Amino acid sequence: MKSMPDNLSRSDIQRVIDEWIIGHHAERDRAILARRLFDGICLEPLAEEFDLSVPQVKRIIQKGTDKIYKHL
């Protein structure tokens, strides 16, 4: 999984998450991305927290980070 560039602030990353993570489950997906990127929470605890499977959480994070990288 990609890591965020060191030169970006938390607020920069949060702005991109808020702006570009859209869709039917946007709030959930934004929350998952923030918990993973800012708090370093692993996939299994995130899956439990959001009542999803680990593969679902992994897909959300992968798709979200891909979108974020496109817009940084």
pLDDT at 54: 98
pLDDT at 14: 92
Per-residue pLDDT of the chain (72 residues; tens, 9 = 90+): 556 666 778 898 899 999 989 989 999 999 999 999 999 999 999 999 999 999 999 999 999 999 888 887
pLDDT at 46: 98
For the chain, the domains span 26-70
pLDDT at 3: 62
pLDDT at 69: 87
**Long-range CB contact pairs, 37-41, < 8 A, 24+:** 37/4, 37/13, 37/65, 38/10, 38/13, 38/14
